[in-house]
Amino acid sequence: MGVRRLEGSNGGYYASRRRTLARLSPLRYHRWWATKAPSDWGYMTAKYIFITGGVVSSVGKGITTAAIGRLLKARNVPVVIQKLDPYLNVDPGTMSPYQHGEVYVTADGAETDLDLGHYERFLDQDLTRASSVTTGQIYQAVISRERRGDYLGRTIQPIPHVTNEIKERIRGIGRDSGAEVVILEVGGTVGDIEGQPFLEAIRQMRNEEGRHDTVAIHVTLLPYISTTGELKTKPTQHSVRELRSVGIQPDIIVCRSDKPISAEIRDKISLFCDVEPRAVIPLLTMPSIYEVPLVLEEAGLGDYVCDRLNISPTSKDLDDWRTWVQRLKNPQRTVNVAVVGKYVELPDAYLSVKESLIHAAVDLNAAVNIHWLHSEDVDSASAGKLFSEIDGIVVPGGFGERGIEGKVQAARFARANGVPYLGLCLGLHVMTVEFARDHFGSDDANSTEFNPETPYPVITLLDAQRRVVDKGGTMRLGGYDCRLVAGTRAHAAYGAGEVTERHRHRYEFNNEYRAELEAAGLVPSGTTPDGSLVEICEVRDHPWMVGSQFHPEFRSRPNRPHPLFAGFLAATVERSLARNGQAPVEPRARHAAAASSRASRARS
- Mean pLDDT calculated for residue range 501-512: 92
Burial of 270 (0-12, 13-18, 19+ CB in 10 A): middle
- Mean pLDDT calculated for residue range 527-541: 95
Residue 20, pLDDT score: 42
How distant, in Å, are the alpha carbons of 165, 489, 517 from that of 556?
A: 33, 18, 30
Phi, psi (5° rounding) for residue 298? -65, -30
Residue 33, pLDDT score: 45
CA distance 388 to 248: 56
How does pLDDT run across 454-492, given as a tens digit for each residue?
Answer: 999 999 987 765 666 555 667 788 999 999 999 999 999
Residue 583, pLDDT score: 62
How does pLDDT run across 310-356, given as a tens digit for each residue?
Answer: 998 888 889 999 999 999 999 999 999 999 999 999 889 999 999 99
Give 506's pLDDT tier (boundaries 50, 70, 90). Answer: confident
How distant, in Å, are the alpha carbons of 67, 128, 390, 567 from that of 120?
A: 11, 10, 30, 22
Q: Return the active site residues.
A: 425, 551, 553
Residue 399, pLDDT score: 85
- β-bridge pairing 47-53 and 534-539: unpaired
Beta carbons of 356 and 552 less than 8 angstroms apart:
yes
Residue 589, pLDDT score: 41
User: Which residues, 6 or more positions from 415, have their beta carbon under 8 angstroms from its beta carbon?
Assistant: 421, 431, 434, 435, 438, 539, 542, 545
Q: Is the per-residue pLDDT at 587 higher than 60?
A: no
Give 381's pLDDT tier (boundaries 50, 70, 90). Answer: very high
How does pLDDT run across 210-224, given as a tens digit for each residue?
Answer: 878 999 999 999 999
Residue 386, pLDDT score: 95
Q: Any idea which of 1-15, 366-380, 401-415, 459-473 has the lowest mean pLDDT?
A: 1-15
- β-bridge pairing 392-395 and 333-341: parallel
Domains of the chain: residue spans and CATH = 4-41+49-321 (3.40.50.300), 331-603 (3.40.50.880)
Q: Which residues pair with 480 in a beta bridge?
A: 501
Give 22's pLDDT tier (boundaries 50, 70, 90). Answer: very low
CA distance 492 to 77: 36
In sequence order, which ranges of 43-132 are alpha helices (DSSP H)?
Answer: 61-74, 97-100, 115-123
Q: Is the per-residue pLDDT at 543 higher than 60?
A: yes
- Mean pLDDT calculated for residue range 276-301: 96
How does pLDDT run across 281-292, given as a tens digit for each residue?
Answer: 999 999 999 999
Residue 14, pLDDT score: 39
How does pLDDT run across 384-393, given as a tens digit for each residue?
Answer: 999 999 999 9
Beta carbons of 140 and 90 less than 8 angstroms apart:
yes
